[in-house]
Amino acid sequence: MTAPLRQKHERDDTAQPLRCYKGYVFHQRFGTLTHRLDYSVFALCITLDKATQAAKDLPFFSFNRFNLFSLHESDHMEKGYETLQIFVEDMLRQGSALHVDEPAPARIDMLAYPRFLGKAFNPLTIFFCYDAQEQPIAILYQVRNTFGQRHHYAIRLSHTEKQKNRWHHSCEKTFHVSPFIDMDCDYHFDITLPQDKMRVTIRQTKKGTPLLTASFSGNQSALSRFKMLSLAAQYCQGGWKILSAIHWEALKLWFKGAKFHKSPPLPTRPVTPAYEASTPQSLPNGDGQ
């Protein structure tokens, strides 16, 4: 296991505990059956131990309570955990992203789609974990499918990453997501931590051959009472909308002749470890980046 990052990592110390990232989701499927989609979305990035106070300071947003927009710990953890922070720490330890005797992350930021009028669906939630010196030490990816299941991929960040605030890691696919892609695949992650901008790209390959590129890129946007109302009017982004979009794209793939794969059994463990990887220059982005 590699040592955690200890070199200086520049970040905005004035960053608010609740931030908004407006941007685009992009998917590109490769091979004999090509398919492409992109649509505008926004995500919220919240510091978990400051979430309650952040909600008090912003109208039309709540934490663990109903509002126009809200984030709920119960949407992202299993029953039996007292807090989402404890759950994330447990997943990191099970995924070997934290040593057994290593302190829990001093700060955890969660990037997720909020509930809109009480409903949300998050295909991907990302937890960014920092130590007491504000150095990034781990990332936990939480993946959900439309069958009501979820799984996690955990990566321990190390000093061997060569590009500032850009991290690359890979892992075996162990969790069923799309019924039109089988399980014999690998994931390759390319991610920047949320600052003024953020971006995450996940490339899926089968024996080195590109199958799918999925990405979210966004710019930080200031939040206010009027901004929350503007987001509601501009995006109307709720779980029903995201799920409808997923099923609509699945229907189009089915009409194109995509092969349907039955859902396999769930992984025996709730988290799969990821490992450090070099920049995947040989894999196409598909989005012109």
Assigned domain for 96 exists: yes
The more confidently predicted of residues 100 and 4 is 100
* pTM for this model (two decimals): 0.89
Residue 147: pLDDT band with limits 50, 70, 90: confident
In a domain, 49, yes or no: yes
pLDDT reported for residue 228? 95
pLDDT tens-digit readout, 199-257: 999 999 999 999 999 999 999 999 999 999 999 998 887 766 777 777 667 676 656 66
- Domain range spanning residue 41? 18-276
| Phi/psi at 195 (5° precision) | -130, -125
pLDDT value at position 151? 97
What would the two tokens of residue 36 be? 């492409």
Q: Which of 22, 189, 37, 14 is nearest to 114 (CA)?
A: 22
Residue 283 maps to a domain = no
Give the model's confidence band at 5: pLDDT under 50 very low, under 70 low, under 90 confident, else very high: very low
Q: Could you tell me if residue 197 is inside a domain?
A: yes
Let me know if residue 288 belongs to a domain.
no
pLDDT band for 1, please (50, 70, 90 cuts).
very low
What amino acid occupies position 104? Answer: A
Percent of the chain whose pLDDT exceeds 70: 83
Mean pLDDT (the chain) is 86
Residue 2 lies in a domain: no
Q: At 35, is the pLDDT very low, low, confident or very high (cuts 50, 70, 90)?
A: confident
Residue 259: what pLDDT? 73
Q: Is 184 helix (H, G, I), strand (E, B) or coil?
A: coil
Per-residue pLDDT band for 9 (boundaries 50, 70, 90) equals very low
Confidence of residue 42 (pLDDT cuts 50, 70, 90): very high
Asked whether the predicted pLDDT for residue 189 surpasses 60, the reply is: yes
Is residue 177 in a domain?
yes
Contact 201, 215 (CB under 8 A): yes
DSSP-derived 3-state class of residue 244: helix
Does residue 82 form part of some domain?
yes
The three-class DSSP label of residue 84 is helix
What average pLDDT does the segment 92-107 reach?
94
Q: What is the number of domains present in the chain?
A: 1
